[in-house]
Amino acid sequence: MCGIFGCIMKQGNAAPIIRASLKRLEYRGYDSVGVATIQDGKIYVKKDQGKIDDVHSILNLDDLPGNLGIGHTRWATHGAPLKINAHPHSDCTGQIVVVHNGIIENFSELKLELENNGHKFVSKTDTEVIAHLIEENLRKNPELELANAVLEAVKRLEGSYAVAVISTREPDKIICARNESPLVLGISENAVYCASDIPAFLPFTNKVVLINDGEFIILSSKGYEIRRINDFSIVAREPEIVDWTPEMAVKQGYPHFMIKEIHEQPATLRNTLRMQEHYLDLISTFLDRAREVFLVACGTSYHACLAASYMFSKLAFLPTYPVYASEFMEQHGKSVNIDSTILAVSQSGETADTLAAVTCAQQRAATILGLTNVIGSTLTRVSRVYVGQQSGPEIGVAATKTFTSQLSVLAQLALRLSKKRGKISQDEMDDIAERLEKLPDIVETIIQTQKEKAKQLAKKYKDAKTFFFLGRGVSTATAYEGRLKLMEIAYIPSIAFPAGESKHGPISLIEAGLPVVFICAKDGAHKTLIGNIMEMKARGASIIAIVEEGDEEIKALSDDYVEVPKGIPEVLSPIPFAIPLQLLAYYMALEKGLNPDTPRNLAKSVTVK
């Protein structure tokens, strides 16, 4: 998730407007910033790694000349957060510059092709191919208009993009295109704007044109023209008036970041399906060769590791040890050695406990692998190989979209490993891979159809003093995550156990009306889980079941249920089953008058041990 911006001013310089607007998009990323403007047939660029204010204090981003320009604030996905990878990126001649938000899946092939045609690349980004593709189109056909050269370039892109392009060839235009990454236009008396999000230009105008996937924009001082990428046909669309306050705009109209981020999950899960194959392959090779594998993390990331231990076992027959990072040194510090591999999972890549475990393992010559959302974080620097989960910044303190993305990446690793080891049939692997592709849509359906249900449940159970969360198999991890969400933002003491363990102690807490949430994936443990539900029901518990559609047997036993679509493979079930639990926690916090974005005593990144 990055922020792009562009504007054409009728009066005045563009650069100060671009810088101020990027600042309002900084929530989308802050690894680096860059601005490009045009004046008198020349392109001016300033960019560097770091946050906007820091870069501005050194470079003075405002003093670029010209009434037209583009800018970018970056959340690194391809290439480290260094100056060389900061946008805008340009072609070989420096006459075409591009800013981009998204992931170009086929960039390696395109890059190779362009390099073979003599193009020189300077960055490690996927974005740079766009500038060179446009240049190539113009080289081949110098008569081409800029818009057509950009159009032909975007037609070759696979993946997600919102791009804005400027060029000295037609210095009065900004050309944009969108596929699966957000893009909006702002229209005012004095200017036209394009941006990743409305807050960027909201102080200047509330007249907004929303751009859809597959659309292409030509911005000029005369206004905007929308066309379809596939046939270049014209789209007529009038601006709408948006009556958001700036604060609402940053949250895209949602009252809290947490619910906004819950809603982002279909998109963030789609991004996880665009991982760089090379790194997934490398990591799975290391896992395959390891004598022992520890999955090390804290909090929600630990729950992703716990779920992953079931995935690795069931798909690749690889035993792994999920370990709380804070316990790693005590538990395994003496035995970890050169044959051990640590897969450290940390959204922030800065969690002190996780880094301490990594340091301990590294000192004993173990191999460190990383999965993180923050490229350039300490974890990426200390890992032999790492992979970025590409979820974009998460602002709500409670992890939501980053959890489901971690699960998706870990499932992909397990599938790769499975392929290497040949442990399950090709048909089974293909089926799981296919269903993984469908999960973004499934998650979208769950959010749309079950939100109201979660709201009602929160109303009904808001006075409960304690909650239980139970599941078997991989659903144990989902149960732990449901408990953590509810405890941390709604402050309801909650208990989670593998359902089979509850009769070894926790069941003594059950009394009439105590809500017990069962995670009821349709897996090998389903029958036994029904027995566990009966045990709780017999003692008067209120059963809240998260079930697959059509699971009539469990529905009949439940006081309340939330449904997720049918046919989800067991190992993938934590992704869809986590969604109702996130929603329940969110609405429960609201019922209790709490702000779910800022739970007491917690920080987004815990940098103390």
CB of 44 to ligand F6R, least distance (A): 38
What the block records as the tokens of 153 is 């370039």
Q: Give the number of other Cβ atoms within 10 Å of residue 393's Cβ.
A: 18
Residues contacting ligand F6R: total by CB under 6 A? 15
Residue with Cβ nearer ligand F6R (67 or 351): 351
The closest of 522, 525, 503, 506 to 514, measured between CA atoms, is: 506
493, two tokens: 């003491």
At 44, the amino acid letter reads Y
Count of residues making up the chain: 609
Rule CB under 6 A: say whether 148 interacts with ligand F6R: no
Residues near 593 by beta carbon (within 8 Å), at least 6 away in sequence: none
Nearer to ligand F6R, 196 or 389 (CB): 389
| CA dist 44 → 36, 89, 92, 166 (Å) | 5, 12, 15, 11
Which of 49, 167, 351, 367 forms a contact with ligand F6R (CB under 6 A)? 351
347 near ligand F6R, judged by CB under 6 A: yes
* Among the residue ranges 33-41, 218-226, 347-355, 358-366, the one whose residues contact ligand F6R (CB under 6 A): 347-355
Q: With CB under 6 A as the contact rule, which of the stretches 10-18, 257-265, 297-305, 435-443 interacts with ligand F6R?
A: 297-305
| Site for ligand F6R contains 268 (CB under 6 A) | no
Does 598 bind ligand F6R (CB under 6 A)? Our answer is no
Instruction: CB nearer to ligand F6R: give 210 or 329.
Output: 329
Comparing CB distances to ligand F6R, the nearer of 46 and 483 is 483
- Binding segment for ligand F6R (CB under 6 A), chosen from 99-107, 142-150, 298-306, 330-338, is 298-306
Bridge partner list, 545? 518, 561
Please tell me whether residue 383 binds ligand F6R under the rule CB under 6 A.
Answer: no
Q: Output the CA–CA distances (angstroms, integers) from residue 397 to 267, 283, 389, 577, 596, in the order listed.
A: 20, 29, 18, 20, 8
- For 57-83, letters b (16+ CB in 10 Å) and e give eebebbebebbbbbbbbbbbbbbebee
Q: Is 555 considered catalytic here?
A: no
Ramachandran bin of 399, using left for φ above 0, alpha for ψ from -120 to 50, beta for the remaining angles:
beta
For ligand F6R, which residue of 80, 329, 464, 606 counts as binding (CB under 6 A)?
606
- Which of the ranges 123-131, 135-143, 295-303, 311-319 carries the binding residues for ligand F6R, by CB under 6 A? 295-303
Cα–chain center distance at 238: 31
Decide whether 356 or 606 has the Cβ nearer to ligand F6R.
Answer: 606
Q: Which two tokens stand for residue 135?
A: 């240049």
Instruction: To the nearest 10°, report the CA torsion of 346, 24, 46, 87.
Output: 50
Provide, rounded to whole angstroms, the least separation between the CB of residue 298 and ligand F6R.
4
- Which tokens belong to 15? 């650069």
Radius of gyration for the chain, computed over Cα atoms and rounded to the nearest angstrom? 25
Half-sphere exposure in the Cβ direction for 522 (13 Å, CA): 16
**Least distance from C-beta 258 to ligand F6R, angstroms?**
10
Q: Is 445 in the site for ligand F6R (CB under 6 A)?
A: no
Which of 399/588 has CB closer to ligand F6R? Answer: 399
348 binds ligand F6R (CB under 6 A): yes
Q: Return the structure tokens found at 416.
A: 């790769």
**Min dist. Cβ of residue 484 to ligand F6R (A):** 6
2 is catalytic: yes
Q: What's the helix, strand, coil split of the chain in %, to 5?
A: 45, 25, 35
Shortest distance in whole angstroms from residue 398 CB to ligand F6R: 4
Tokens (6 digits) for 362: 């590294």
Asked if residue 301 binds ligand F6R (CB under 6 A), the reply is yes
Query: Taking the mean position of all CA atoms in its chain, how far away is CA 417?
Result: 23
The tally of CA atoms less than 13 A away on the side-chain side of residue 408 is 33
Amino acid at 351: T
Report the nearest approach of ligand F6R to the CB of residue 221 (Å): 45
Counting contacts by CB under 6 A, is residue 354 touching ligand F6R? yes
391 binds ligand F6R (CB under 6 A): no
Q: Which two tokens stand for residue 36?
A: 């490009």
Q: Which is nearer to ligand F6R, 197 or 488 (CB)?
A: 488
d(C-alpha 397, C-alpha 349), whole Å? 15
Mind spelling out the 3-state secondary structure of 130-178?
A: HHHHHHHHHHHCCCCCHHHHHHHHHHCCCEEEEEEEEECCCCCEEEEEE
Does 390 sit near ligand F6R (CB under 6 A)?
A: no
Query: At closest approach, how far in Å is the CB of 393 from ligand F6R?
Result: 12
Cβ closer to ligand F6R: 84 or 495?
495
Give every CB contact of residue 381 below 8 A, 6+ residues apart in sequence: none
Which phi and psi angles does 217 have, rounded to 5°? -125, 135
Residues 110, 175, 298, 510: which binds ligand F6R (CB under 6 A)? 298
- Comparing every residue's Cβ against ligand F6R, the nearest one is 299
User: Which of 244, 254 has the CB closer to ligand F6R?
Assistant: 254
Task: Catalytic residue, from 2, 176, 360, 520: name it.
Answer: 2
Asked if residue 299 binds ligand F6R (CB under 6 A), the reply is yes
Q: Taking CB under 6 A as the rule, does residue 300 contact ligand F6R?
A: yes
Q: Does 605 bind ligand F6R (CB under 6 A)?
A: yes
Nearer Cβ to ligand F6R (8/399): 399
Q: Using the rule CB under 6 A, is 357 a contact of ligand F6R?
A: no
Q: Is 352 helix (H, G, I), strand (E, B) or coil?
A: helix
Among 137, 179, 265, 346, binds ligand F6R (CB under 6 A): 346
Q: Which of 419, 460, 503, 604 is catalytic?
A: 604
Residues 208-267 interacting with ligand F6R (rule: CB under 6 A): none
Site string for ligand F6R, 480-509 (x = CB under 6 A): ----x---x---------------------
Single residue of 398, 411, 486, 520 touching ligand F6R by CB under 6 A: 398
Q: In this structure, are residues 346 and 372 in contact, taking their beta carbons and an 8 Å threshold?
A: yes
Which one among 133, 194, 211, 399 touches ligand F6R, defined by CB under 6 A? Answer: 399
Enumerate residues 6+ apart whose C-beta is below 8 A from 111: 121, 128, 129
Q: Give min distance, CB of 379 to ligand F6R, in A.
A: 8
User: Looking at the annotation, which residues are catalytic?
Assistant: 2, 604
Q: Which residues of this protein are in contact with ligand F6R, per CB under 6 A?
A: 298-301, 346-348, 351, 354, 398-399, 484, 488, 605-606
